[in-house]
Amino acid sequence: MNDAAIGVFDSGMGGLTVMRALKARLPQERFVYLGDTARLPYGTKSANTVRRYALQAATALTRRGVKLVVIACNTASVSLPALKDALAPLPVVGVIEPGAEAALAAAQGAPIAVIATEGTVKGGAYVRAIEAKGGADVAQQACPLFVPLSEEGLTEGPIAEAIAHRYLDPLLATMPKPRCLLLGCTHYPALKDVIARVAGPEIALVDSAETTAEAVARLLKDEGLQAPPRASALPEFLVTDAPDRFARVGEIFLGEPIDPGTVELVDLQ
């Protein structure tokens, strides 16, 4: 079992920022990434539909013999209890809880600012998770242009900066002033530099990709599931649509080229 891969699931490409952090933190592990590119985005779908899709995706990953499933998608993380039930005893890790924990640690009693998709903001998952872990004031802002901006590779320059100001200036002007900004969508780490510059040096950025990688590392250790020392292997990619676009645009989020030959088209229905 220790030798098996880690399954990483997202509605599309954003989860590649989580896989990037996982690869950096756990270089000896193997990964299978599944992007449900035919049915993205999940942010506008009902909780029932998202749960059904996430279950299909997680099941497809278990058929590949993974030892752990990471739900690298904020929207799909609302299905975490259902997924844990369905996949037990396989461990399942989401991005919301690690992000909320890290934000509370960074905020030190000050309010927490959260940026996310419209769906995540409306669903209030971060507000609830932060409340459950001790509580803090939370100010939220949906940033719908950040996803297409990052998917186009427009992660620097005056356009990215103007859009970041549009979202962040009113959010960070709330009183009392937030001390940390949680990136509550797995696409947003691609815009980290612009976001950090616009937010200013007194705002700590919490990247749920990194905190999730940390949570996975902890869990592998606790469960004795760590991979044996070995040379790093290329990840495998499964997508439900447009493998070429996935390979091309995915590079922005993974931070390294994706060989189109490693991207396999699968049907989840």
**Binding-site member from 20, 30, 45, 179 for its own copies (CB under 8 A):** 45
Of the two residues 11 and 211, which places its CB atom closer to its own copies in the complex?
11
Distance in Å, CB of 50 to its own copies, minimum? 10
Based on the shown chain and the rule CB under 8 A, indicate whether residue 260 belongs to the binding site for its own copies: no
Looking at residue 213, the DSSP 8-state letter turns out to be: H
147 is an interface residue for its own copies by CB under 8 A: yes
Is residue 11 within 8 A of residue 246, CB to CB? The reply is no
The answer to whether 39 contacts its own copies (rule: CB under 8 A) is yes
Which one of 11, 17, 37, 74 is in contact with its own copies (CB under 8 A)? Answer: 37
Using CB atoms within 10 Å of the CB of residue 25, give its burial: 0 to 12 exposed, 13 to 18 middle, 19+ buried: middle
> Counting contacts by CB under 8 A, is residue 241 touching its own copies?
yes
Tell me how far apart the alpha carbons of residues 166 and 207 are, in angstroms, rounded to a whole number.
Answer: 20
Q: What are phi and psi of 202, to 5 degrees?
A: -85, 0
Q: Assess whether 180 carries a catalytic annotation.
A: no
Interface residue with its own copies, options 44, 108, 174, 232 (CB under 8 A): 44
Q: Which of 18, 69, 71, 73 is catalytic?
A: 73
3-state helix, strand, coil in the chain (%, to 5): 50, 15, 35
Closest CB to its own copies among residues 37, 208 = 37
Stretch that binds its own copies, among 34-42, 97-105, 123-131, 191-199 (CB under 8 A): 34-42
The verdict on 152 binding its own copies (CB under 8 A) reads: yes
Please report whether residue 177 would count as binding its own copies according to CB under 8 A: no
Least distance to its own copies, CB of residue 45, Å: 6
Look at the chain and count its residues: 269
Residue count, binding to its own copies (CB under 8 A)? 25
Amino acid residing at 70 = V
Sort 72 into a burial class: Cβ within 10 Å, 0-12 / 13-18 / 19+: buried
What are residue 183's phi and psi, to 5 degrees?
-80, 95
Structure tokens at 64: 């590949």
Neighbours of 17 (CB within 10 A): 29
143 noted as active-site residue: no
CB 26, min distance to its own copies, A: 30
Helix (H) or strand (E) holding 84, with range, is helix 80-87
Q: Which of 53, 16, 40, 14 is nearest to 188 (CA)?
A: 14
Site string for its own copies, 104-123 (x = CB under 8 A): --------------x-----
Residues with a catalytic annotation lie at 73, 185
Binding site for its own copies (CB under 8 A): 37-40, 44-46, 49, 118, 144-145, 147-149, 151-152, 154, 158-159, 162-163, 166, 241-242, 245
